[in-house]
Amino acid sequence: MLKALLNLLPTKTVYAHCDIPCGIYDPNRLQQAAHTVIRMTQLISDAGDDVHKIARLTQVKEEHAEIAKHEVTVLFGDYFKPEHHQKFPELNELVLKVLKTASKTKQEINKEAAEELLSLTQEVAEIFYKTKGLKPVRVKSPYPTEGELVLYK
């Protein structure tokens, strides 16, 4: 009878990177999403009056802003541990800024907000690599955004 009652309750599918935990985390998808937001913002600005192209570019921009939000949330909730928060007390505020800035890039066609999103995701990547005892380095990205990626040595 309990099983029948539980089947009547509304359910919501929840997605996560890995709840095992698998120990496989990487900030690269976060940075790629931010680069994509920048690139879509650039292309929207150059699209002229082509409303169909603007609609497609806007959809991709918003999808990647959402990917950035998802990726930083996974890192924050699943990877970063209390000792990381103690060593990097700015982490809570930084993650909140990534979330808020990603939302802003969804709401607007704003080059500065898109570039700020990339900068914030790079800061998260730097902290991530430091928690692993790696030295973060910034390298020129291969993307048409001409921005940088944070990798490690």
Give residue 84's Cα distance to chain centre.
19
DSSP code for 152: E
Q: pTM above the 0.85 mark?
A: yes
CATH level 3 topology of 26-152: Four Helix Bundle (Hemerythrin (Met), subunit A) (1.20.120)
- Please identify which residue in the block is written with the tokens 């879509």: 40
Residue-wise pLDDT tens for the chain (153 aa)?
656 655 666 655 444 456 666 788 999 999 999 999 999 999 999 999 999 999 999 999 999 999 999 999 999 999 999 999 999 999 999 999 999 999 999 999 999 999 999 999 999 999 999 999 999 999 999 999 999 999 999
Per-domain boundaries in the chain: 26-152
